[in-house]
Amino acid sequence: MSRRILVVGGDAAGMSAANQALRTAEHLGEDVLVTVLERTGHTSYSACGMPYWVAGDVDDVSELIARTPEQHRAAGIDLRTGTEVVSVDLAARSVQARDGDGTHRIEFDELVWATGASPVMPAWTRPDGALPHGVLPLNDLDEGAAWLALLAVDEQLDVVVVGGGYIGVEMAEAAVRRGHRVTLLARSRVLKGLDTALGDDVTAAMKEAGVDVRAGANVQSLGVAAGRVTSITVDGEEVPADAVVVATGITPNTDLVRDQLPAAAVGASRGLRADQHGHVHGHVWAAGDCAEVRHLVTGDWAYLPLGTHANKQGRALGEAVVAGPERSRWSFPGALGTVVTRFEGCEVGHTGLARGEAELLGLDVVELVTRGTTASGYMPEAEPIAIKVTAERGTRRLLGVQVVGGAGAAKRVDAAAAVLHLRGTVDDLAWMDLSYAPPLATAWEVLQVAARRVAERLG
């Protein structure tokens, strides 16, 4: 009989795992049956692309879908959309799944948990037990479509974004580009993981675009009339609101399996701790936003829900669940916390640790912010850029880099990420042979000037 691999969740992580499992089985001549249960009708869509769909960059939702259910089925996957897992029995190796026809028991040999995460909805979002019209997170394609319907209108609306993280910033951009009046409420400040000076640059760019950015904001309640949101009360002030984006964080979808796993297999985030092969425990595997990953700078587990990890983890998992870890040709090494985004012309990038995170680990750190330009100062392409480099005293090890600046700024963190991945020093970053041409960089690449200044500070 075929080995039964059951994947729960049909987005990036699950479908990467399913596809790789089939390819690996073919490569090894193994007999497997790969079944994917997906709650919605969609597979393999770009969640990260949704703010740009709402903003109008993407003409049709089909562009966000990397592969349709039909394409997955044609590749040999037993894909069942509209099928929600309602319970799991790890000991019996079976799940109960509900579809249009009722609830069925499905057995497995290996379970791949790839259920993603759900938005955290604060109590104030449901004043009468339900979300008022116009109050919504942005978590799946249906919510993306709802946001498109709300914001792609001729009328100028009052849009309030609650949450100063990456999704909040991207949805604020989308609402600005749709011509609305936008308020962003951040509990602490915008992109709080960034150095204060760099975060201030982002805030300034948002304010320049007309966003009313409020840091240290405490949301108290919603005003609702006829089932629609009309206002949001923040620190005693009633702010008009035709729509409220709830971007206050997400939590891993692990309720159905968490309690059946050893405590060590589940993180404080409630994410499943999947090793470099995606293996959690026994016959349970996990990838994507429902999983924690190894942070390569701290060595600890971390909850870093991002599409890149979902794709990579899924692929490594798909190989290992068929080949076994010892025969796997590759594995997911872990992550560095690399993130980039953009607010109009202002790009933001971040990799590794900031001072606070490093000091929590007991590291003695030095960090400096360096300002420069993305291209030679005499070129029209030159844009301001600010870079913070963080390194460990003594070992001189690079710990992290943050960047805020104009076009071309954000992807500069990739060279720093490579140094972090290979555990290089701040001197490596400062003196290695990075590229230069006047329209693209300065003769001393600004990232290297930033690293050199920290190296000099280290003596």
Residue nearer to its own copies on the CB measure, 103 or 330: 330
SS3 string, 123-182, reads: HHHCCCCCCCECEECCCCHHHHHHHHHHHCCCCCCEEEEECCCHHHHHHHHHHHHCCCEE
* Residues of this chain, 331-350, that bind its own copies according to CB under 8 A: 331-342, 347, 349
Q: Does 198 bind its own copies (CB under 8 A)?
A: no
351 lies in the site for its own copies, by CB under 8 A: yes
Q: Using CB under 8 A, pick the residue from 15, 150, 280, 296 that binds its own copies.
A: 296
The residue (of 130 and 437) whose beta carbon lies closer to its own copies is 437
Assigned token pair, 15: 């479908």
Smallest gap from residue 209 Cβ to its own copies (A): 16
Asked if 394 is part of the footprint of its own copies (rule: CB under 8 A), the reply reads: no
Active site residue: 3, 4, 30, 48, which one? 48
* CA 338 to the chain's CA centroid: 10
H or E segment and range at residue 57: none
Q: Which of 68, 233, 427, 457 binds its own copies (CB under 8 A)?
A: 427
How far, in Å, are 16, 55, 231 from residue 50 at the CA level? 20, 8, 25
Stretch that binds its own copies, among 92-100, 124-132, 330-338, 362-370 (CB under 8 A): 330-338
Residues that bind its own copies (rule: CB under 8 A) add up to a total of 76
Here the tokens at position 189 are: 């400040």
Q: Which is nearer to its own copies, 134 or 372 (CB)?
A: 372
Under rule CB under 8 A, which residues in 109-128 are in contact with its own copies? none
Question: Max alpha carbon distance in the chain (Å)?
Answer: 70
366 near its own copies, judged by CB under 8 A = no
Q: Is residue 48 annotated as a catalytic residue, yes or no?
A: yes
Q: How far is the CB of 240 from its own copies (least distance, A)?
A: 30
The first and second tokens of residue 86, run together, are: 């309602």
Nearer to its own copies, 93 or 312 (CB): 312
CA 213 → CA 81, 196, 245, distances in Å? 40, 15, 14
Q: Which is nearer to its own copies, 39 or 315 (CB)?
A: 315
Site for its own copies in 10-29 (CB under 8 A): 12
Q: Considering the complex, state which of residue 87 and residue 308 has its C-beta at the smaller distance from its own copies.
A: 308
Confirm or reject binding of residue 379 to its own copies (CB under 8 A).
yes
Q: Does 292 bind its own copies (CB under 8 A)?
A: no
- Between the alpha carbon of residue 37 and those of residues 42, 95, 113, 161, 250, the distances in Å are 11, 10, 10, 33, 22
Distance CA 404, CA 130 (A): 39
Distance in angstroms (rounded) separating the CA atoms of residues 286 and 227: 39
438 binds its own copies (CB under 8 A): yes
- Amino acid type, 284: V
Stretch 397-426 residues interacting with its own copies (CB under 8 A): 407-408, 410-419, 421-422, 424
72 binds its own copies (CB under 8 A): no
First CA to last CA distance, the chain: 65
**Would you state the structure tokens that stand for residue 248, as one six-digit string?**
């206050």
Sole binder of its own copies in the list 100, 129, 236, 459 (CB under 8 A): 459
Residues marked active site are found at: 48
